[in-house]
Amino acid sequence: MIFSSVEQYDTPVDVDSEVAALAERIAADGPRLPLAGPVVDEQAAVVAARRAVDDLIDKQALDAMLAQIKGDGLRLTGPGGFLSELVKAVLERGLQAELTEHLGYRAHEAAGRGSGNSRNGATAKTVQTEVGPIEVKVPRDRAGTFTPMLVPKNARRLGGLSDVVISLYAGGMTVRDISHHLHRVYGTEVGPDTISTITDEVLDEVKTWQQRPLDEVYPIIYVDCLMVKVRDGGQVRNKACYLVVGVNTEGVKHVLGIWVAQAEGAKFWMQVCTELRNRGVRDVLIACCDGLTGLPEAIEAVWPHTTVQTCVVHLIRAAMKFVSYKDRRAMAAALKDIYTAPTVEAAETALLAFADSPLGKRYPAAVAVWERAWDRFTPFLSFPPEVRRIIYTTNAIESFNYQIRKVIKNRGHFPTDDAVVKLIWLAIADIEDKRARQRAAEAGKPANTRTAPPRLVEGAGVHGWKQALNALEIFFPGRIPTDAR
């Protein structure tokens, strides 16, 4: 037990020397202290951290330190907290070890005489961390050639704090909420402008991701959007944020890009399709969307042989908007006869029968929804059930949009279009990471006992893909790469 009594130990513990030894090990292994920057190998970092703590516990130093101060109103974090003071001690000892390595001799050693460089005091600076603000004494050398690694020059926050900020931002907190949270929990003063600067550091990664090369052929792409509020020209406007998901030839979904537009139309969609083409997409077999204005024309201009399919579920929802609650069950049954028809002719017969029925005459606007979208709906009827199940709906993206809406619901508006793309990109990574951790925690359990959710969009597989791929090869001969068949 950590909080054990110090009286049980007969041998006095030199706490200072133990902390110094730990700091020297950190300096010797490189700047691997979690607070000093991102850790590339998380598992290795955890093992190293546990080994370092075990060294202290085995020698009774940790228990001794805690026992000495537990009766003095101990705080773990924040200014003057135990963890803050421990991190301060480790950082300062590590900096001294770095300077020793730089100079080539320890303090007061004879080897330093006439060396041409020596220690020259220290400069105090305050850095913001996950455990609160810490004042660190950074040592100097007379020649001014010492460059510390644990606390880099001009750094006012350590890397772990940036990770915390980005994680909170990805979870939907505003910059002001994050600032308040850090102050309340850790006693750390980080202003909204600084938090914006921290989150903006991922913009380069976002732009690299948005411009990455894509596959030559995507058998299916889905397009959907959600509305967001963005400040534009001194006014807050409603803008559409579009997400394009592609299913590659292996049946795996990938987010191809995120775009924000003030008003959709043929010009905007031409830019999107051209961008995808320039990133390597040579052909798309089926594009499934919800009747977005200008999208079919743009797709056909860039990929002339692509079949543009209106999402059936969107048509059903659009028709249901005009139907009273008591008639919705009957309306759903009538519409099912249309979209499950085996042929176009059978679907036309079902639509005419629906229009002439008492239900159709009561809701002519619902009939008009299907009549207007008929040319973009009927390609759906040409495919066998294996393909129909995949292009029936854009629910894969809509499920993701639902998760995104949960993230952005607390925001009044975004300052820029880039802020929208940045948050959604971070949300994708955050959602998929959480789900991956849940699946990893259940690894090895029987399949019928696992409750972890599958991938949401990025990297998710399409059920029954091989059967659908065979059908697509028949309908689109020669357009699927031979190595994918």
- Residue 169's contacts (CB-CB under 8 Å, 6 or more residues apart) are 175, 178, 195, 199, 423, 426
Q: Do 170 and 63 share a structural domain?
A: no
Is residue 178 scored above 50 in pLDDT? yes
pLDDT of residue 26: 46
In a domain, 98, yes or no: yes
How many Å apart are CA 3 and CA 76, to the nearest integer? 13
Cβ atoms of 342 and 302 within 8 Å: the answer is no
In a domain, 150, yes or no: yes
In a domain, 60, yes or no: yes
Q: Do 116 and 180 share a structural domain?
A: no
pTM, entire model: 0.66
What tens digit of pLDDT does each residue of 53-75 get? 566 555 555 566 566 555 555 66
Q: Do 166 and 127 share a structural domain?
A: no
Residue numbers of the domain that contains 27: 6-156
pLDDT of residue 17: 52
- Closest among 252, 183, 262 to 228, alpha carbons compared: 262
Residues 326-353 have a mean pLDDT of: 91
How many Å apart are CA 26 and CA 96, to the nearest integer? 11
Q: Do 103 and 162 share a structural domain?
A: no
Stronger pLDDT, 12 or 176, i.e. the higher one: 176
Q: Could you tell me the pLDDT band of residue 350, with boundaries at 50, 70 and 90?
A: very high
| Tally of residues, the chain | 485
- Residue 282's contacts (CB-CB under 8 Å, 6 or more residues apart) are 216, 217
Stronger pLDDT, 5 or 69, i.e. the higher one: 69
In a domain, 56, yes or no: yes
Q: Do 118 and 53 share a structural domain?
A: yes
Q: Largest alpha-carbon pair distance within the chain?
A: 104
The answer to which of 10-19, 277-286, 339-348, 359-368 has the lowest mean pLDDT is: 10-19
Q: What's the mean per-residue pLDDT of the chain?
A: 77
In a domain, 328, yes or no: no
pLDDT of residue 170: 66
In a domain, 324, yes or no: no
Q: Could you tell me the pLDDT band of residue 261, with boundaries at 50, 70 and 90?
A: confident
How many Å apart are CA 275 and CA 232, to the nearest integer? 24
Is residue 189 scored above 80 in pLDDT? no
What tens digit of pLDDT does each residue of 385-415 get? 888 888 876 666 667 777 878 877 767 788 8
Token pair of 293, please? 């204005």
Q: Do 179 and 77 share a structural domain?
A: no
Q: Do 143 and 31 share a structural domain?
A: yes
Is residue 337 scored above 70 in pLDDT? yes
Backbone angles phi, psi at 87, to 5 degrees: -65, -40
Q: Could you tell me the pLDDT band of residue 1, with boundaries at 50, 70 and 90?
A: very low
Q: Do 22 and 65 share a structural domain?
A: yes
How many Å apart are CA 355 and CA 357, to the nearest integer? 6
In a domain, 54, yes or no: yes
Stronger pLDDT, 35 or 363, i.e. the higher one: 363
pLDDT of residue 52: 61
Amino acid, res. 180:
H
What tens digit of pLDDT does each residue of 218-248 get? 999 988 878 888 888 788 888 888 888 999 9
Is residue 97 scored above 70 in pLDDT? yes
What tens digit of pLDDT does each residue of 192-223 get? 777 777 777 777 888 888 899 999 999 999 88
Residues 87-103 have a mean pLDDT of: 75
What tens digit of pLDDT does each residue of 273-329 get? 999 999 999 999 999 887 777 888 888 899 999 998 888 888 888 899 999 999 999
Backbone angles phi, psi at 26, to 5 degrees: -65, -45
In a domain, 475, yes or no: no
Q: Do 32 and 165 share a structural domain?
A: no
Residues 98-122 have a mean pLDDT of: 79
How many Å apart are CA 179 and CA 156, to the nearest integer? 15
Q: Do 19 and 114 share a structural domain?
A: yes
Helix axes 364-372, 344-356, angle to 10 degrees: 160
Find the distance separating the first CA and the last CA of the chain, reported in whole Å. Answer: 60
What tens digit of pLDDT does each residue of 445-484 get? 888 888 888 887 888 888 889 999 999 998 899 888 876 5
Q: Where are the beta strands (DSSP E) in 299-447?
A: 307-310
Q: How many domains does the chain have?
A: 2
Choose the final residue of a domain: 166, 201, 236.
201
Q: Do 55 and 193 share a structural domain?
A: no
Give the whole-number percent of the chain exceeding pLDDT 90. Answer: 18
Choose the final residue of a domain: 98, 122, 156.
156
Q: Do 24 and 49 share a structural domain?
A: yes
Choose the final residue of a domain: 97, 132, 156.
156
